[in-house]
Structure 1
Amino acid sequence: MKPSLRFSLPTPAQCGVMDKKASETVGISALMDRAGWAVAQAVRARFAACRVLVLCGPGNNGGDGYVAARYLERAGWPVQVASLAPPREGSAAMEASSRYRGRRTAFTAENARRADLVIDALFGAGLDRPPATEVMQVLWAARVLVAVDLPSAVSGLTGAALAEGPDYRMSVTFVRPKPGHVLFPGKEIVGELVCADIGMPEACLAEAEARIWHNWPGLWHVPAMSPEDHKYRRGVVSLCAGQVMPGATRLAAAGARASGAGLVRISAGEGAAAYRLGAAGLVIDDAPLAELLEDERRKVWLCGPGLTKDEVDASLPLLLAAKRLVLADAGALGWAGNRPEKLHGVAVITPHIGEFTKLFGAPGDDLVSAARDAAQRVGAVVLLKGAVSVVAAPDGRVALNDHASPALATAGSGDTLGGVIAAMLAAGMPPWEAACAGAWLHGEAGLRAGNWPIVEALDAHLGDARAKAIALACENENLAVKRRA
């Protein structure tokens, strides 16, 4: 199913496509006027009237700035505009500049220091290189900064800091946030994010063909309970057990059970006796793995948590030969080393940054491209775990998950996540959707668990997290139906 445009995060290049299409229908001047008005309204809603300096660049972002200055001046605010460079003759920005009849001043750090509030309408999301030193000196001189679209020293594509710049109190973007608003460090630099609806036709957004999405219920749909459910319909999750670190396997199994798996079974072999001392609802198998794979109902397997390289070597090739749906994590990633091709055939891998670097090399500033390339290379969904997790599919789809808590930064949290994703796979969700849902549910449980929880505390919140995800997806679907009507 094609993801909803509601959750799309268009790149700066895709925004250019969108604007070009809009110029043929609505007209750039009309959209620019709405954008500038939205900036002025956001400023007026959050600040008392004060001395404002609007820094305007030569492009459309600068045009939005001229419009914002005009509306703030009309509301009685003391406003000045400082232009970095004049707009191009005949452009919508030039028209916006000509309609602003207020005070203008020089583009200097001294003028920025005199203002109570500085609005950065210089470059928006389109810059891909560090701004000039002159620009950064002016921005650093500001006491309070508001960005039009995106701070000038932040990449709209990657969220990377293009130069060492100040933090902003607020950023006002339009139509949809960009990846740079969601990814760190941009996410911290932008301050409060306001996304304004400026009447961009949905057809223009569709023309941009976004391939990056904000991870949220409605992008995917977790199966709800049904009166006809039984444990096999809800899905069986099987785990390969480790003899040296059984705790990781236990945590993954608990995550799968708590997030709705119908049945969770641990393939423990000769170590089955130790696992039977755990939760009563777990099924512990001591038969050889090859024998267990004769049961066709056991389609989904989690391989890696708590496993040594030898244990992975004895299990993962068998799972892949049996054409099982495999989530590989932890020990399985270490087993592959720097040869990701050894993982060909798995459905999902969930590396943290260290594991990713050993497998594929350091990702650099562009986490999206790195995860996307890795997914294509290994032929599996890659969930690159981090403060904002990146979920990439081999076909190029990417979701950014920022629905999480620093409380998840505790040992064993990744094992729980593996169990949650496995439960989603067992419920019949496709791998990319299952990984997206698992990341969101895991994050919701972390938010509900409060400050400084131990990893076992997450399990108590996974059922409510799943119920909330189902409810939110229904709300989003109802809103979409109303808009179409």
Structure 2
Amino acid sequence: MSNEILSPAEMGEADRLMISAGPFDGIGLMRNAGGAVAAVVLAHFPAARRVHVLCGPGNNGGDGYVVARILGDSAVDVLLWASGSPKAGSDAALAASECQVRPRPLSEFAAEKGSILVDALYGAGLSKPLSGDAARAVDVATELNLPVVAVDLPSGVSGESGQILGQAFRARITVTFARKKPGHLLLPGREMCGELVLADIGIGDGIVAQLQPRTFENAPSLWLESFPIPAVDTHKYRRGHVGVFSGGPSATGAARLSALAAARSGAGAVTVLSPANAVQVNAAHLTSIMLKKADSIADVQDFIDSRRPSAFVLGPGFGVGEKTRDFALGVLATGERQDGRADGLVLDADGISSFRDTPKGLFEVARRPNAPALVLTPHEGEFARLFADIAGDTNLSKLAKARAAAARAGAIVVYKGADTVIAAPDGRAAINGNGAPWLATAGSGDVLSGIIAGFLAQGMPAFEAACAAVWIHAEAGSRFGPGLIAEDLPLALVPVLRELAENRNEVTT
């Protein structure tokens, strides 16, 4: 599966396994990597007057020496600036010995407008802030607005977290190898990478598979096989029934957005569960969505017993407090998975905030055997309310925080943002890379919750359902573009869903 993401440590292990298995040794992989970068420079900047190659003392610098050698052999005017010398006997030292371009000290680095810079200083393995000559080189490149081609990852960006360590190069193009790293997709690192080129240097899928990666880039290939397609003989209840809890008379819109999204995403039946004093308000706005009074947990239990719903959404516009907690715990305590269905509760917004002071009670119920799957969809503020210690740990990346939260809660955690991370209790996680700024509008999250519930209701496993919903939600927002409001999103899902259904049919035929 080509959408695996490797941490810097896993990438180092992939190198080791590849070298052990052959046919490439360490310098062979380095030559392949440098050759890939040089090819990108030649293809994208054929008229460059001069290329400055900045080399660190490690393997990233070794790639840079290969780049400088190949560019020099191609009659490009190359200047090479080195930060220290490679360790004697290392692959980087061998690459440096093969390079005909005389290195100059990085402390003397100077450039001119119109030239190109190849950043081969530190790459994805950097763990401390850039300083000294390297930091000054960033300043020079920034002041002259030099196009930067980064080797593996712009120096100064953490490959583990995507965080900027002090300061970093802003690349026009980043060339990485074998698989992407978390820092390529997590913000702010993603913005520093520019165009991302994934180069094949000989590390095959079999080598990557030995690592058993647990992190993925969220894309259809991750979940398309479980994307629900109705059978010819299906009927509406076989496609699942979603219950969406509504707030009071002045706060009903969010639930209707979720309900419509659940219906658009394929749920065969959707019911808005409304307090009695909001039934008339909801009735005035609903057509294909059903409506039922639900003022108490007894009402909810009656709905579960009589209609056997497959999934619920609780939180959008519902209000914060004891009633919210009672409804959530009641759904989780009384539901059981039927016929292998991935029954679930999507807890969003007020549903999450209601457990700010009592998260353990929610997590204990969620972890019970046969409990419906719990999907939490917090933005940054809501995440901090439910997982204060995890959110406050500055040593953890967003990816690591989402994983820790999912493990603690026994739930799927959709940690929302422009770089949404979806994490499962079993350690799987996906980073979403197609986020759209147009989705930063009120009600957008309510639609996402409805899509997740719609997929859960159709029997999609919870992790895959959440991943699919996040990607589809973002794709619909991107395609719609400027002017998007939440009311537009359910209908904007249609062309995206249609294409996925067509692709799913092609996979199975």
Same fold (TM over 0.5): yes
- Match of 1:370? 401
CA distance in 2, matches of 1:444, 1:360: 29
Q: Residue 288 of structure 2: which of 263, 281, 285 is its match?
A: 281
- Match of 1:451? 482
SS at 2:75's partner residue? coil
CA distance in 2, matches of 1:200, 1:165: 28
CA distance in 2, matches of 1:203, 1:389: 29
Match status 1:150 vs 2:153: yes
- Match of 1:428? 459
- Match of 2:138? 139
User: Matches of residues 172-211 of structure 1 in structure 2 within 5 Å?
Assistant: 172-211=175-214
Q: Comparing 85-94 with 62-71, which one deviates more in the overlay?
A: 85-94
CA distance in 1, matches of 2:125, 2:61: 12
Residue 360 of structure 2 aligns to which amino acid in structure 1? Answer: E
CA separation of 1:472 and 1:342: change in aligned 2, threshold 3 A: farther
Q: Is the 8 A contact 1:172 1:193 kept in 2?
A: yes
- Match of 1:255? 261
Match status 1:11 vs 2:38: no
Residue 374 of structure 2 aligns to which amino acid in structure 1? Answer: A
Match status 1:352 vs 2:364: no
- Match of 1:413? 444
CA separation of 1:125 and 1:341: change in aligned 2, threshold 3 A: same
- Superposition deviation, residue 226 in structure 1: 2.8
Residue 212 of structure 2 aligns to which amino acid in structure 1? Answer: E
Q: Unpaired runs of 5+ in structure 1?
A: none
Q: Is the 8 A contact 1:109 1:139 kept in 2?
A: no
- Match of 1:43? 41
CA distance in 1, matches of 2:218, 2:503: 12
Q: Comparing 330-339 with 408-417, which one deviates more in the overlay?
A: 330-339
- Match of 1:236? 241
Q: Unpaired runs of 5+ in structure 2?
A: 337-343, 367-372
Residue 276 of structure 1 aligns to which amino acid in structure 2? Answer: A
CA distance in 2, matches of 1:466, 1:352: 25
CA distance in 2, matches of 1:330, 1:249: 11
CA distance in 1, matches of 2:211, 2:113: 41
Q: Comparing 432-441 with 288-297, which one deviates more in the overlay?
A: 288-297
CA distance in 2, matches of 1:313, 1:137: 54
- Superposition deviation, residue 235 in structure 1: 1.4
CA distance in 2, matches of 1:213, 1:319: 31
- Match of 1:441? 472
TM-score (norm 2): 0.89
CA distance in 2, matches of 1:166, 1:338: 42
SS at 1:231's partner residue? coil
CA distance in 2, matches of 1:216, 1:465: 13
SS at 1:267's partner residue? strand
- Superposition deviation, residue 104 in structure 1: 2.6
Residue 167 of structure 1 aligns to which amino acid in structure 2? Answer: R
- Superposition deviation, residue 144 in structure 1: 2.7
SS at 1:307's partner residue? coil
Q: Comparing 199-208 with 353-362, which one deviates more in the overlay?
A: 199-208
- Match of 1:312? 324
Residue 260 of structure 1 aligns to which amino acid in structure 2? Answer: G
Q: Is the 8 A contact 1:218 1:472 kept in 2?
A: no
Describe the superposition over 1:9-68 as per-residue Cα deviations: whole angstroms up to 9, x where unpaired. Answer: 100010011011011123222221111111011111111232111111122111111111
Residue 208 of structure 2 aligns to which amino acid in structure 1? Answer: L
- Match of 1:98? 97
- Match of 1:20? 16
SS at 1:193's partner residue? strand
Q: Comparing 335-344 with 231-240, which one deviates more in the overlay?
A: 335-344
Q: Is the 8 A contact 2:329 2:362 kept in 1?
A: no
Q: Residue 329 of structure 1: which of 348, 366, 378 is its match?
A: 348
- Superposition deviation, residue 196 in structure 1: 0.9
SS at 2:244's partner residue? strand
Q: Is the 8 A contact 1:305 1:329 kept in 2?
A: yes
Q: Comparing 315-324 with 275-284, which one deviates more in the overlay?
A: 315-324
Describe the superposition over 1:80-127 as per-residue Cα deviations: whole angstroms up to 9, x where unpaired. Answer: 212212112222212211111123322135434578111111111001
Q: Is the 8 A contact 2:119 2:150 kept in 1?
A: yes
Q: Comparing 245-254 with 342-351, which one deviates more in the overlay?
A: 342-351
Describe the superposition over 1:272-306 as per-residue Cα deviations: whole angstroms up to 9, x where unpaired. Answer: 22211123101111262121121363121111111
- Superposition deviation, residue 452 in structure 1: 2.4
- Superposition deviation, residue 269 in structure 1: 4.1
User: Matches of residues 47-62 of structure 1 in structure 2 within 5 Å?
Assistant: 47=45, 48-62=47-61
CA distance in 1, matches of 2:503, 2:33: 29
Residue 292 of structure 1 aligns to which amino acid in structure 2? Answer: F
Q: Is the 8 A contact 1:383 1:435 kept in 2?
A: yes
Residue 331 of structure 1 aligns to which amino acid in structure 2? Answer: D
- Superposition deviation, residue 327 in structure 1: 1.0
CA distance in 1, matches of 2:256, 2:135: 52
RMSD, aligned CA:
1.9
Q: Residue 393 of structure 1: which of 413, 420, 424 is its match?
A: 424
Residue 250 of structure 1 aligns to which amino acid in structure 2? Answer: R
Q: Is the 8 A contact 1:119 1:147 kept in 2?
A: yes
SS at 1:233's partner residue? coil
Residue 245 of structure 1 aligns to which amino acid in structure 2? Answer: A
Q: Is the 8 A contact 1:368 1:390 kept in 2?
A: yes
Identity %: 40
- Superposition deviation, residue 474 in structure 1: 6.8
Q: Is the 8 A contact 2:48 2:116 kept in 1?
A: no
CA separation of 1:28 and 1:278: change in aligned 2, threshold 3 A: same
CA separation of 1:473 and 1:10: change in aligned 2, threshold 3 A: farther
Residue 485 of structure 2 aligns to which amino acid in structure 1? Answer: I
Q: Is the 8 A contact 2:186 2:419 kept in 1?
A: yes
Residue 241 of structure 1 aligns to which amino acid in structure 2? Answer: S
Residue 404 of structure 2 aligns to which amino acid in structure 1? Answer: D
- Superposition deviation, residue 472 in structure 1: 5.1
Q: Is the 8 A contact 2:155 2:169 kept in 1?
A: no
CA distance in 1, matches of 2:133, 2:176: 25
Describe the superposition over 1:198-246 as per-residue Cα deviations: whole angstroms up to 9, x where unpaired. Answer: 1212222122332211000010121124322221222111112211411
